[in-house]
Structure 1
Amino acid sequence: MKKRLDTSLLVWMNRPSLWTIGRSRIIFSTEPATDFWINQARQLNKFNGHALLLPIRQDFTLTVTIRAQLHEVYDQLGIFVMSDPSCWCKAGIEYRDEQASSVCSTVTYGGFSDWAGMPISSGIHTLTLRLHRWQNEFRVEFSFNGQKFKWLREFALPFTEGVAQVGFYACSPKDSTFDAEFFDMMIESLQWEEKRNKL
């Protein structure tokens, strides 16, 4: 059964200076030079982005609507799932320029972060994301209207004792800041049809 996510269970990772957490809405301001990105070959290890997470052991489907006025390259916000600081995924909106942003995702494992995405208009400020978990497999979907969802990415992550840290993130890798807003946060039993058939 779908229910509202209990925001009192969320715990900060790299808490920003300005934030508000309500029962149905979260708003916080990113701080400059914050990011989640790892590339050992280039000696890059950025893990100071802002995230609100809670541990979840079972399979689930998490839905959230995100909103922000992004204005600097690489400004980003979305959904976050983590095994540990070297093994995680982020997915959401990332700003490029005045014409285009991206709906994108990054999976980090083995010392490297990748990037995959598709262009959208930079005039799109609101997006609904849906994250499914089945064991150690995940699927991320997005929707412009909160009704019709499109596939974004499927991936797998290993987890210690099956516990995934799941929630929401935002960061500003350059010298900028913006207000990240998260609302309509719902969690329910697994809705990933291909996997539900295996239960």
Structure 2
Amino acid sequence: MNAPAAIDRDGDHLLVTTRDKTDFWRTTSYGFVHDDGHALLTDLPAGSAVEVTFDSAGFTDLYDQAGLMVRVDESTWIKAGIEVTDSAPHLGAVVTHGSSDWSMAPVPDWAGRRVTVRASRVGDAVTIRARCEDGPWRMVRLAPLAPDAAASAGPFCCSPQRAGLQVRFTRLAVGPADTELHADPAPINPARN
């Protein structure tokens, strides 16, 4: 959704370049609605999981961001990944049900490294996890999502303060949902690179 400035292939990698001042956000604190970030989404039925891997190099400006989006419609969605704020990369999530919220934690040691974000849909919830390279999985968020909602998920990126953020997406994998909340998820073989 929302075609970026450029999409290029580099072997099995997808290079996406953002348009000027793109974002996903609804109302809270700022009073504006933005739904013009870039995303490439596939179905996320109940009982499934999606993983997105990307390189966090080149994130320099305030709010530069990339990761994984789960979307039902323009007012019901989740985005999670790396975002620059306070001059450092942060692992964060925005959950939107009419209005957006935002949670984050600094991850300065993840700067310029490969990051994987995973969304797993079970029952009335989506579990978001992330990790840096082959490091341990971190629980990011447990968020509500109606069990009967038709949702899609996949990589997203945007740059609310500029144009030209280039993000290298290296992996997209779709598979079964996590079996337990407090255990590392089972590996998913890539559906496509």
Q: TM-score range by the shorter chain?
A: 0.7 to 0.9
Residue segments in structure 1 that go unaligned for 5+ positions in a row: 1-12
Counterparts in 2 of 1:72 and 1:122: CA distance versus 1, 3 Å = farther
Q: Which residue of 1 aligns with 2:65?
A: 76
Deviation per residue, 1:157-185 (Å, 9 max, x gap):
236x5421111100010123211121232
Q: How does 1:96-111 map to 2 (within 5 A)?
A: 96-98=85-87, 100-110=88-98
Q: Which among 133, 153, 168 is matched to residue 181 of structure 1?
A: 168
Q: Distance in 1 between matches of 2:145 and 2:125?
A: 7
Residue segments in structure 2 that go unaligned for 5+ positions in a row: 184-193
Counterparts in 2 of 1:55 and 1:188: CA distance versus 1, 3 Å = closer
Q: What amino acid maps onto 2:82 in structure 1?
A: I
* TM-score, with structure 1 as normaliser: 0.81
Q: What amino acid maps onto 1:152 in structure 2?
A: V
Q: What amino acid maps onto 2:3 in structure 1?
A: R
Counterparts in 2 of 1:132 and 1:123: CA distance versus 1, 3 Å = closer
Counterparts in 2 of 1:193 and 1:21: CA distance versus 1, 3 Å = farther
Q: Which among 27, 34, 38 is matched to residue 39 of structure 1?
A: 27
Q: What amino acid maps onto 2:180 in structure 1?
A: E
Residue aligned with 1:37, SS:
strand
Percent identity between matched residues is: 27
Please identify, of 22-31 and 116-125, the stretch whose mean Cα deviation from structure 2 is larger. Answer: 22-31
CA-atom RMSD in angstroms: 2.4
Residues 1:91 and 2:83 aligned together: no
Q: What amino acid maps onto 2:131 in structure 1?
A: S
Q: Distance in 1 between matches of 2:171 and 2:21?
A: 28
More helix by share: 1
Deviation per residue, 1:49-107 (Å, 9 max, x gap):
01111123241122221113111100100000011101100000001254x22100000
Give, in angstroms, the shift of residue 25 of structure 1: 2.6
Q: Distance in 2 between matches of 1:40 and 1:131?
A: 24
Q: What amino acid maps onto 1:188 in structure 2?
A: G
Q: Which residue of 2 aligns with 1:54?
A: 42
Q: Distance in 1 between matches of 2:9 and 2:46?
A: 25
Q: Distance in 2 between matches of 1:41 and 1:144?
A: 30
Counterparts in 2 of 1:23 and 1:132: CA distance versus 1, 3 Å = farther
Please identify, of 35-44 and 180-189, the stretch whose mean Cα deviation from structure 2 is larger. Answer: 35-44
